[in-house]
Chain A
Amino acid sequence: MTLETLKPYLPWITLFVLAGIVGIANPAFFNPSGLIALVADITPLFIMALGMTFAIYIGGIDLSVQQMANLVTVIATVYLAQFGIGVALICIIIGFLIGAISGYITTRLYVPSFVSTLAMGFVALSGAKYLSGERALSMDATLRDRSFGWMFGNTAGVPHELVIAGVLLFIAWFLQKRTTFGRALKAVGSGELAAVASGLNVDRIKILAFAISGTFAAIAGLMFSVKLSGGDANLANGFLLLAIVAVLVGGTPLTGGVGGVVNTVIGTLIVVVIRAGMVYLEIDATQQQMVFGIVLIVAIALTIDRSKLRGVVK
């Protein structure tokens, strides 16, 4: 077996090696129920990364996801009493719209997505601050359980978060692999000019990719809000960089067209393992961030398939 044939499996190998290191150092890591809980907990982050994958897959990036989730935690908390489960729809629509606006600014006004989504994130943050009155709000527990109780809990040992994550993953995978939209995304990510010359409506596809990213970010925010039973304008802070890292470590490069949602699953798991590893290996508090950075460099160095990074590495 040569390195060449191993390449597609490098992200998996990295994941298992990392997990193995943590598990050997502390076998308690392999406790099944603990592992399941660990994975279930990452669900909101995973969903956000899943959405981000679409933006990165077309060669862009979405820096608004964290603020979007912040906004949604506030919306969900404020309007839960009024709309019940219908608030989910409002959140999703908001996410879709803000994402679409970012996409519009990127494609039609020629503002790089790095800037347009960052700026739209600021707009969402303002919305969150305004709506929350700049306070931390909490949901009424009974109302929450009535409308969204199904999001959490266990059925036959399987946490419902995992089921939701699985369903969304399937939807994302299906969109990417089996639909004309997914094929169009790939064309835009790998060769935008050729996509134009094939008569694809490239602008619409790109706008839609950002809208999907926004939608998933909104779902992530909603789940997080329900989980924490509240919302405020900073609740989802810390998601953004991890979501980007999850996508990139999984092997979807910023140049687009390669990788995809399954890679993001691996990437998210790698992030979980690294993070949990800090706890299991009892890394000193002042060293954790540095260790995270170094392990990240190693993980990225191992997982990215340089032959697919077409052209020069920038």
Chain B
Amino acid sequence: MADTMANAAPAARFLTRDRIIKWAPLLVLGVLILLFPFFEWLEDIRAGEAHAYLIDSRFFSIRNAARIGIAAAPALMVAIGVTFIIIMGSIDLSMEGTVSVCAVVFAFAFLAWGGTVLSWAWLAIPAAMLVGAAMGFINGLVHVKLKIPSFMASLAMGFVGTGLALLLTGGDRTRVEDPIFRSLLTERWFNFPVMVYVALAFLLIAWFIQSRTTLGRNFYAVGGGEELAHASGLNVERVRLMGFTLAGVFFAVGALLAVGRIGIAETATGNNFMFVSITAVVVGGTALWGGIGGVWNTLVGVLIVSVINNGMVVIGLPAYVQDAVLGILVILAVVLSTDRRSVSFVK
């Protein structure tokens, strides 16, 4: 699922163990999608109502798919950004700060430059992406030039980002009400809002970067063996810097979609993105130790997490058990998609 390179993959044995493990996340997603309607069916049958499995399901419907799509789109962008970093064997915890800063800068610029996409205010969109890139670049600089492990560097940069967003807003929230920008949410093509297509477009861009560009392949090289890549003449520092910068751009896109979704930009826009995105990446089958996985895995991972969150409310699970169910399902998903023979130990 990860690499669909032009002429790669010799067509050999079809159902190997490797293949099953590779497809496990998708399998989990499939099971979840069938599981929640089952609980709906059970509930109605018990209540003595007629209910044809799947057909009468409210969960298993286009409308709900669109809702899951809306919930997943911003998280997908952020998760894709961090996917590149995790493929390199590093980690980026700065997304909450970066998303907030980008959202706030976007909203300020958008309103200052006209407040509608039809004016010069559309420039706020590339401006936000530039800001994201800059944040990512600084994050990368701190990590690479000061030789601080990415976990710590990005954690601290996350504080700086949130702090910067707070400094910019003074704590106020800004509404972005331009109907054209908000058509990300309100306009639907084939039942799905525009933002879902925007997210898919960026997913394809990410896939393109991952499989068709030198930079994308170099992420895998660095994740597979950094010292070896360096000895082969690869400028690993540059790849890392570019990686963090690219992640910043995707965080910015996530911020734009998040603003598009609720029409508000604030310091809290970035909240909760950290654990959701990293969990999604791991659940999708991208290994935290680097070199394995890709953006399609991340798509599946984000969908798994979003489907669980949506499904739990839909089947009426009490709020206090939802956290535990999410936790247990995440563990299960990771267990199923881990090739235990290829890893000697895990920390």
Do chains A and B stick together as partners? yes
> A21–B345 Cα gap in the complex (Å)?
44
Contact assessment for B160 and A294 in the assembled complex, using a CB-CB cutoff below 8 Å: yes
B227 at the interface (CB under 8 A from A): yes
B246 at the interface (CB under 8 A from A): no
Among the listed A58, A109, A130, which residue makes an inter-chain contact with B320, where contact means beta carbons less than 8 Å apart? A130
Contact assessment for A115 and B334 in the assembled complex, using a CB-CB cutoff below 8 Å: yes
Q: Which residues from chain B contact A130 at a C-beta distance below 8 Å?
A: 320-321
Q: Given A114-B278, A119-B331, A126-B324, check contact A313 B147 (CB 8 Å).
A: yes
A253-286 residues with Cβ-Cβ distance < 8 A to B are: 253-256, 286
A202 at the interface (CB under 8 A from B): yes
Q: Which residues from chain B contact A123 at a C-beta distance below 8 Å?
A: 323-324, 327-328
Interface residues on A, range: 35 or more
With CB as the reference atom, state the residue of chain B lying closest to A309: B149
The minimal Cβ–Cβ distance linking A176 to chain B, given in whole angstroms, is: 18
Contact assessment for A288 and B278 in the assembled complex, using a CB-CB cutoff below 8 Å: no
Instruction: Mark the stretch among A1-9, A153-161, A220-228, A297-305 that contacts chain B.
Output: A297-305
> A60–B345 Cα gap in the complex (Å)?
11
Q: Given A122-B324, A244-B155, check contact A287 B347 (CB 8 Å).
A: no
B53 at the interface (CB under 8 A from A): no
Contact assessment for A314 and B278 in the assembled complex, using a CB-CB cutoff below 8 Å: no
Contact assessment for A290 and B159 in the assembled complex, using a CB-CB cutoff below 8 Å: yes
With CB as the reference atom, state the residue of chain B lying closest to A106: B346
Contact assessment for B158 and A115 in the assembled complex, using a CB-CB cutoff below 8 Å: no
Among the listed B90, B97, B159, B320, which residue makes an inter-chain contact with A314, where contact means beta carbons less than 8 Å apart? B90
B109 at the interface (CB under 8 A from A): no
Contact assessment for B347 and A286 in the assembled complex, using a CB-CB cutoff below 8 Å: no
Instruction: Mark the stretch among B126-134, B164-172, B257-265 that contacts chain A.
Output: B164-172
Contact assessment for A120 and B327 in the assembled complex, using a CB-CB cutoff below 8 Å: yes
> A111–B332 Cα gap in the complex (Å)?
9
> A179–B90 Cα gap in the complex (Å)?
33
With CB as the reference atom, state the residue of chain A lying closest to B85: A314
A105 at the interface (CB under 8 A from B): yes
> A184–B267 Cα gap in the complex (Å)?
45
Q: Which residues from chain A contact B279 at a C-beta distance below 8 Å?
A: 115, 118
Contact assessment for B334 and A111 in the assembled complex, using a CB-CB cutoff below 8 Å: yes
Among the listed B167, B289, B335, which residue makes an inter-chain contact with A287, where contact means beta carbons less than 8 Å apart? B167
Interface of A is mostly: helix
With CB as the reference atom, state the residue of chain A lying closest to B230: A312
* Most central of B88, B147, B149, B319 by chain A CB within 10 Å: B149
A-B contact count (CB 8 A): 170
B330 at the interface (CB under 8 A from A): yes
Among the listed B143, B149, B346, which residue makes an inter-chain contact with A111, where contact means beta carbons less than 8 Å apart? B346
A193 at the interface (CB under 8 A from B): yes
Q: Given A115-B334, A253-B149, A297-B156, check contact A314 B327 (CB 8 Å).
A: no
Encode contact with A along B164-197: 1 for CB under 8 Å, 0 otherwise.
1011001100000000000000000000000000
The minimal Cβ–Cβ distance linking B312 to chain A, given in whole angstroms, is: 11
A293 at the interface (CB under 8 A from B): yes
> A113–B347 Cα gap in the complex (Å)?
6
With CB as the reference atom, state the residue of chain B lying closest to A196: B345
The minimal Cβ–Cβ distance linking A313 to chain B, given in whole angstroms, is: 5
Contact assessment for A114 and B331 in the assembled complex, using a CB-CB cutoff below 8 Å: no
Among the listed B163, B227, B321, which residue makes an inter-chain contact with A312, where contact means beta carbons less than 8 Å apart? B227
A59 at the interface (CB under 8 A from B): yes
Among the listed B148, B157, B160, B338, which residue makes an inter-chain contact with A110, where contact means beta carbons less than 8 Å apart? B338
Among the listed B143, B171, B334, which residue makes an inter-chain contact with A286, where contact means beta carbons less than 8 Å apart? B171
A76 at the interface (CB under 8 A from B): no
A229 at the interface (CB under 8 A from B): no
Contact assessment for A122 and B160 in the assembled complex, using a CB-CB cutoff below 8 Å: no
The minimal Cβ–Cβ distance linking A312 to chain B, given in whole angstroms, is: 4
> A239–B325 Cα gap in the complex (Å)?
23
Contact assessment for B347 and A288 in the assembled complex, using a CB-CB cutoff below 8 Å: no
Q: Which residues from chain A contact B90 at a C-beta distance below 8 Å?
A: 314
B294 at the interface (CB under 8 A from A): no
A112 at the interface (CB under 8 A from B): yes
With CB as the reference atom, state the residue of chain B lying closest to A289: B163
Q: Which residues from chain A contact B171 at a C-beta distance below 8 Å?
A: 286
B142 at the interface (CB under 8 A from A): yes
A134 at the interface (CB under 8 A from B): yes
Q: Given A119-B330, A301-B146, check contact A296 B159 (CB 8 Å).
A: yes
Encode contact with A along B115-158: 1 for CB under 8 Å, 0 otherwise.
00000000000000000000000000011001111111101111
Residue pairs across A and B with Cβ atoms less than 8 A apart, 27 shown, are A106-B347, A107-B345, A110-B335, A111-B331, A111-B334, A111-B338, A112-B288, A115-B330, A119-B330, A122-B326, A123-B327, A123-B328, A126-B323, A206-B347, A248-B152, A254-B151, A289-B159, A289-B166, A290-B164, A293-B157, A293-B161, A294-B160, A297-B160, A300-B156, A312-B226, A312-B227, A314-B149
Q: Which residues of B contact A (CB under 8 A)?
A: 88-90, 97, 142-143, 146-153, 155-164, 166-167, 170-171, 226-227, 236, 275, 278-279, 282-283, 288-290, 319-328, 330-331, 334-335, 338, 340, 343-347
* 4 additional contacts (CB under 8 A) given A113-B346, A114-B282, A115-B279: A111-B331, A119-B330, A287-B163, A313-B147
